[in-house]
Amino acid sequence: MVTILSEIDLNCKSNGKLNFDGGKLTSDSGVLLYKEFDEKLGFSKEIRKTVNINDNVNHRLHENVDVILQRIYQNAAGYHADDDADNLRSDFVFQTVLDKNILASQPTISRVNNIVNTETMKQLQTVNSNLLDKIYTLDPPEEIIFDLDSTNFETHGQQFGSKYNTHYGANGYHPLLMFDGATGDLIKANLRSGNVHTSRKAVSFVGSIFKDYNKKFNDIPLYLRADSGFAKPGIYEIAEEHDISYTVRGHDLLQIY
């Protein structure tokens, strides 16, 4: 006797159903772990409290801060293009973690990208700084190593500030970055045109961080670590001004102070 699936009775709750539409499938269940970490650290709450983008748009479905959070979660999941939003609008995992019935589309994300300004970047830097303070409170550091570096963000269009960098052999941006060498946490970032020298504006970039951390952590060692691109008198002077030991690789030797 041949039994087909539709003739089988379910020996369980009477509201059980069989269907053949594939159900709610996703390849991004790992985003749920990001959400758990987010809630423990208070990341989204900090974004909502600190970031405020003013414009003249009537936000019927998606506030600007909601779009920023969506973009952050998309990037965390590997979806870096604005167009990716159109395929994720009805993904139930993203709907769950962002607490929305439907996500913002590509035009909405692109609109928010276009109104982000210097003030917005300062607000986001404040968010990052506040979150680091929380982490340091939970796990006080025994030392802090400022890893100073620059990198290439390759571009493929006519983005403002995108220039050819001969060192990397590509068009893009050349941002400054500073990480906590012990934890890998990002301390600060600054976007620059692609054709500027490695140490361009590096002194002012590190200056505010050195001053802030020297005040917060005056009882633990602070170190600066950088490569030859930052072997400049201004870097040495500001490190010494804030009692920060430094290791900078010179063009032909390793300088340790």
Percent of the chain with pLDDT over 70: 86
At 249 the three-state DSSP class reads strand
Provide the H-helix boundaries in the chain. 31-41, 43-50, 64-76, 84-88, 92-98, 106-115, 118-138, 202-216, 233-241
Alpha-carbon torsion (55, 60, 65, 67), positive or negative: negative
Q: Can you give the pTM of this predicted structure?
A: 0.79
CA–CA gap between residue 141 and residue 73 (Å, rounded) = 28
- Hey, what are 111's tokens? 């609109």
Domains in the chain: boundaries: 28-115, 141-256
Let me know: does 235 contact 205? Beta carbons within 8 Å: no
Q: Specify the range with the lowest mean pLDDT, choosing from 67-71, 161-165, 211-215, 244-248.
A: 161-165
The CATH superfamily of 141-256 is Ribonuclease H-like superfamily/Ribonuclease H (3.30.420.10)
Question: What are the pLDDT digits (tens) for 146-177?
Answer: 999 999 988 888 888 889 988 888 899 999 99
